[in-house]
Amino acid sequence: MPPVQACDRSKVLVFGAGNFGSCLADHLGDSLHNVFMWSRSADVVSHFNQYHRNSEVLQDHVFAESITAVGPEFPSAELIQDMDVLLFAIPTEGVRATLTALKPTLEGRKLPLLIFVNKGIEIKTRALTLEIIADTCGPEIAKVATFISGPSFAKEIVKRQPTSVSVVSLSTEHAQLASQLFHQPWFRCYTGDDPIGVELAGALKNVYAIAAGIAAGLGYENNARAMLITRGLAEMTRIGTAYGASPLTFLTLAGVGDLFLTCSSPTSRNYTVGYRLGQGEKLDHIIQTLGSVAEGVTTAKGLKAIVDELGIKAQLATGIYDVLYGGRDVAERANELLALPPNRELDLPEESGKPAKRLLKKLGLEE
């Protein structure tokens, strides 16, 4: 299926009206595209169309008038088939069901540009979004799907604060189209061709942000935070390389850039979960009162299964899993990690790539 061609004014449907979906809809609407934003909440849809404000997130911001909210029913086939771009800003756990519902409307027509901005690993299957796309929509669609990731807080995007992101796809052409759609002086895009690495980086950094928050909650200061960011990056790179991603991907905006932002800002949801754990709160209470999704909590479970499958050391990730799901005391587990013997600083696995090779084979890109 040929891709939609980039144009000055595209019709974009955003699936998801949370923080990130809303801020990207606003960015595209302010860039003179015609934007439709789907929400499951009838109240959000009604309030947005009347006042151009989101009643649940970014409540102080007045959104671009070129955005129309739709829902709560799933978007109609007629609306979807009229779109040039479909942008998915929903939690990873909801991607499979959404794509399954969407698949019939993609058949027998020119394929819109598909862009995914979610960050996480599907818990039950341990699948990245690229594999979920292949399972639900087929390998040909997965091969041209695009992914945007990087250090990009929603509240700063709507203020037009300078932001840069990685835009990647197995198809260079489609990465360039997505980059052209989003690129502005205040929202700079850099293209790449390693969606597996970018997906892993985007998911894993949330787990290490919980670790950084725990350290702050325990009273550790800047030295400890710098240690966690650096060792987290080394661990992410080791996991990603063993999975089959390029180690260089973890030095990009989607890697160290996003890791640094998420681990160093008290407004990060995952950092907040960790901080409150470090302060002695119970996880169930934190989740109930957080007010939004912290994907690092669920990602930690999928990551533990991946680490076990790969057979590699990931002591920080394992420590976070033990605290979240093993009932371990936060301070006690932190002290155990600090008491580990000295080790080699950079240690990439000698053998790598089995999970990525399986996925690429599913896409018809590996023998």
Q: What is the pLDDT of residues 301-314, one digit of tens each?
A: 889 999 999 999 99
Residues 128 and 158 in one domain: yes
**Tokens linked to 222:** 């800047």
Q: Name the nearest CA neighbour of 136 among 97, 168, 100.
A: 100
Quote the domain boundaries for residue 72.
Answer: 11-193
Please confirm whether the linkage preceding 247 is cis (ω < 30° from 0).
no
Please confirm whether the linkage preceding 72 is cis (ω < 30° from 0).
yes
Q: Can you tell me the distance from the alpha carbon of 98 to that of 118, in angstroms, rounded to the nearest whole number? A: 13
- In the structure, how many helices (H) and strands (E) does the chain have? 17, 8
* Sheet arrangement for strand 113-116: 67-70, 34-38, 11-15, 85-88, 113-116, 146-149, 163-169, 187-192
Question: Between these two residues, 8 and 245, which has the higher pLDDT value?
Answer: 245
Q: Can you tell me the distance from the alpha carbon of 337 to that of 178, in angstroms, rounded to the nearest whole number? A: 42
Question: For the segment 14-58, what is each residue's pLDDT rounded down to a tens digit?
Answer: 999 999 999 999 999 999 999 999 999 999 999 999 999 999 999
Task: Report, as an integer, the average pLDDT of 158-180.
Answer: 97
Confidence of residue 367 (pLDDT cuts 50, 70, 90): low
Q: Which string of DSSP letters, residue by residue, matches 136-183?
A: HH-HHHHTT-EEEESS--HHHHTTT--EEEEEEESSHHHHHHHHHHH-
Residues 284 and 189 in one domain: no
Tell me whether residue 1 is in a domain.
no
Residues 75 and 158 in one domain: yes
Environment class of residue 59 by beta-carbon count within 10 Å: exposed (0-12), middle (13-18) or buried (19+)?
exposed
Residues 205 and 315 in one domain: yes
Per-residue pLDDT at 353: 83
Per-residue pLDDT at 11: 97
Per-residue pLDDT at 1: 37
Number of domains within the chain: 2
Question: For the segment 89-148, what is each residue's pLDDT rounded down to a tens digit?
Answer: 999 999 999 999 999 999 877 899 999 999 989 988 999 999 999 999 999 999 999 999
Q: What angle do CA 337, 323, 150 make, to 5 degrees?
A: 85
Confidence of residue 3 (pLDDT cuts 50, 70, 90): very low
Q: What angle do CA 221, 266, 54 make, to 5 degrees?
A: 180
Tell me whether residue 5 is in a domain.
no
Tell me whether residue 363 is in a domain.
no
Residues 217 and 324 in one domain: yes
Q: What is the CATH number of the domain that holds 332?
A: 1.10.1040.10
Q: Can you tell me the distance from the alpha carbon of 174 to that of 169, in angstroms, rounded to the nearest whole number? A: 7
Question: For the segment 315-346, what is each residue's pLDDT rounded down to a tens digit?
Answer: 999 999 999 999 999 999 999 999 999 999 98
Q: Can you tell me the distance from the alpha carbon of 355 to that of 243, in angstroms, rounded to the nearest whole number? A: 5
Token pair 């080394």 is at which residue? 234
Task: Report, as an integer, the average pLDDT of 213-219.
Answer: 97
Q: Can you tell me the distance from the alpha carbon of 325 to that of 18, in angstroms, rounded to the nearest whole number? A: 27
Residues 119 and 138 in one domain: yes
CB atoms closer than 10 angstroms to residue 104 = 10
Per-residue pLDDT at 338: 95
Tell me whether residue 366 is in a domain.
no
Q: Can you tell me the distance from the alpha carbon of 355 to that of 299, in angstroms, rounded to the nearest whole number? A: 17
Is the Cβ–Cβ distance between 229 and 259 less than 8 Å? yes
* The pLDDT of residue 219 is above 50: yes
> How high is the mean pLDDT of the chain?
93
Q: What is the chain's length? A: 367
Residues 181 and 285 in one domain: no
Q: What percent of the chain has pLDDT over 70?
A: 98
Confidence of residue 354 (pLDDT cuts 50, 70, 90): confident
169 DSSP β-pair partners: 146
Task: Report, as an integer, the average pLDDT of 173-194.
Answer: 97
DSSP classification of residue 345: S
Contacts of 223 by beta carbon, 8 Å cutoff, 6+ apart: none
DSSP classification of residue 6: P
* The pLDDT of residue 75 is above 90: yes
Residues 189 and 208 in one domain: no
* The pLDDT of residue 360 is above 50: yes
Residues 320 and 351 in one domain: yes
Confidence of residue 205 (pLDDT cuts 50, 70, 90): very high
Tell me whether residue 364 is in a domain.
no
Per-residue pLDDT at 6: 43
Q: Can you tell me the distance from the alpha carbon of 17 to that of 37, in angstroms, rounded to the nearest whole number? A: 6
Q: What is the CATH number of the domain that holds 149?
A: 3.40.50.720
207, 264, 265 from 319: Cα distances, Å: 10, 19, 21
Per-residue pLDDT at 109: 75
**Tokens linked to 181:** 């759609």
**Tokens linked to 67:** 């955005």
Confidence of residue 293 (pLDDT cuts 50, 70, 90): confident
Residues 74 and 108 in one domain: yes
Residues 26 and 173 in one domain: yes
* The pLDDT of residue 281 is above 50: yes
Confidence of residue 348 (pLDDT cuts 50, 70, 90): confident
Confidence of residue 83 (pLDDT cuts 50, 70, 90): very high
Q: Which string of DSSP letters, residue by residue, matches 24-36?
A: HHHHHHHTT-EEE
Q: Which residues are catalytic?
A: 205
Choose one of 193, 223, 257: the last residue of a domain: 193
